[in-house]
Amino acid sequence: MKKLLFLSIILATAVSCSSVKVTSDFDSTANFASYKTYAFTDEALNIQLDDLNKTRLLNAISTELAAKGFTKAETNPNVFIDLVLKGEQKQTATATTSGYGGYYGAGYRYGYGGGFSTTQINYETYVDGTLFVDMIDAAKNQLVWQGRGTKTVNPDASQKQREENINYAVKQIFMQYPPKL
C-alpha cells in the first residue's frame, strides 16, 4: 500500500511539473531587428479569460517582451501582439485486470484452470490548452512570427501555481524569439 501511495505522489508531481510543448513559425523576410515597440490588439485585451488570469497573461507577455528589448507604445507600435487561446478536451482509458487462477482439484485429480478475472476500465477526461502569440508587423499588417505553447490545464491549481504556470509557458514560448534565421 505504501508503495502505491509513493508511486501516485511521484506521478502527481511529474504531471504538475510537465513541460510546455512549444513551437513557432515566422516570416523569413521580416526584419526582426527593427521591431522595438509593441501594443496589444483589442482582441488580445479582450481575450476570453477571467480577469485575474488575463492580467497574469498580459503581464507575463509584457515582461518577456521587455526582456527582448521591446517597449510598450501607446501610438504607432512596430508590432501588434495578438493572443488566441484554444482548449481541446481529451480522454484516456486505462484497463486494470484483476482476479485469480491456478491449480484446482481434490484427491488424485489435479489440473490447471484459467481462473476468474475482471477488467475495469477507467476513463480520465482532461483539457490541453494552447496559447498562440502572434506578432503582426504594424506597417504591413502582416503576421511575422507566431509562438505556440500547449500544456494540460490543471483546473485545481492554486493562485500561485496558476501564476507560475502562465509565466513559465510564456517564457518558454518567447525562447523561440527572435527566430534563428
Highest mean pLDDT among 80-94, 113-127, 129-143: 129-143
Tell me the CA distances in angstroms from 164 to 7, 84, 155, 159, one per residue in order: 25, 20, 14, 9
CATH class of 28-88+133-174: alpha beta
**Percentage of the chain exceeding pLDDT 70:** 80
Domain residue spans in the chain? 28-88+133-174
* Grid coordinates belonging to 126: 482532461
CA-to-CA distance for 180 and 19, rounded, in angstroms?
22
Amino acid at the residue 137: D
Q: Using the predicted structure, report yes or no on whether residue 11 has a pLDDT greater than 50.
A: no
**Burial (CB count <10 Å: 0-12, 13-18, 19+), residue 147:** buried
